Amino acid sequence: MQKPEFTITVYTENQIGLLNRIAIIFSRRKINIESLNTSPSEIDSVHRFTIVINETEDVVRKLCRQIEKQVDVLKAYYNTNDEIIWQELALYKVPTAIIAEKVKVERLLREYGARAVAIRTDYIVFETSGHQEEIEGLVGALEPFGLIEFVRSARVAIIKDSKGFHEKLKEFESEEPGAGLIENEFLDQQDEVFTM
């Protein structure tokens, strides 16, 4: 049975080695990462990892908890495809002669919303964005016409029902210290008593 697809969004501080530590969490559990994108977020000095995997929700929930235990990780969320708006970017290199000779190819590119980003005498590079199925559909359609090269980016995604991490971070910062913090202070005092 095919496992469902989940997108994990991780907000982190931008620290050297963090990507490796996060990747190890997946490799230890023998979970294949389908797509991985890292970029700055809307908050200065906070980065965002977007990770796509096929796994059960229970496993994904545990993964997020494990990821959040990393020192430089602020928060990790997971969502189904229905809960996010997402896109991927793709580049296609096609022989210039084919485009010039075959009107059918030009129509095909327009149908998929592709636009030229580089034109040379020997090839043209087209760019399009969309979901994986659309991007791979254009690959299949261009192959008979001499597709030279193809590359697809990792997923970028925004959570639909969210105020955004920036607002959640503000809420977190404005909260008074909770009982957990007081309890920890009490335990620290007890430790001091035992060490005297």
User: pLDDT by residue (tens digit) across 41-55?
Assistant: 888 888 999 999 999
Average pLDDT of the chain, as a whole number: 84
Of 69 and 182, which is predicted with more confidence?
69
Query: Residue 169's pLDDT is what?
Result: 64
Query: Residue 165's pLDDT is what?
Result: 66
Query: Residue 149's pLDDT is what?
Result: 95
Of 172 and 63, which is predicted with more confidence?
63
Give domain 85-152's CATH architecture: 2-Layer Sandwich (3.30)
Percent of the chain with pLDDT over 90: 53
The residue ranges of every structural domain in the chain are 5-84+160-174, 85-152
Q: Model pTM greater than 0.85? A: no
Q: Please check whether residue 4 is in contact with residue 57, taking contact to mean a CB–CB distance below 8 angstroms.
A: yes
Section 87-95 average pLDDT: 94
Percent of the chain with pLDDT over 70: 82
CATH class of the 5-84+160-174 domain in this structure: alpha beta
Query: Residue 166's pLDDT is what?
Result: 63
Least confident range from 27-31, 124-128, 185-189: namely 185-189
CA distances in angstroms from 131 to 79, 136, 152, listed in the order given:
16, 9, 11
Q: How confident is the model at residue 192 (pLDDT cuts 50, 70, 90)?
A: very low
Query: Residue 173's pLDDT is what?
Result: 57
Residues, the chain: 196
Query: Residue 179's pLDDT is what?
Result: 44
Query: Residue 188's pLDDT is what?
Result: 43
Q: How far apart are CA 5 and CA 84, in angstroms?
A: 12
Q: How far apart are CA 6 and CA 21, in angstroms?
A: 20
pLDDT tens, residue by residue, 135-191: 999 999 889 888 999 999 999 998 887 676 667 666 655 555 544 444 444 444 444
Helices (H) and strands (E) in the chain, counts: 7, 9
Section 98-106 average pLDDT: 78
Instruction: Give the DSSP letter of residue 187.
Output: H
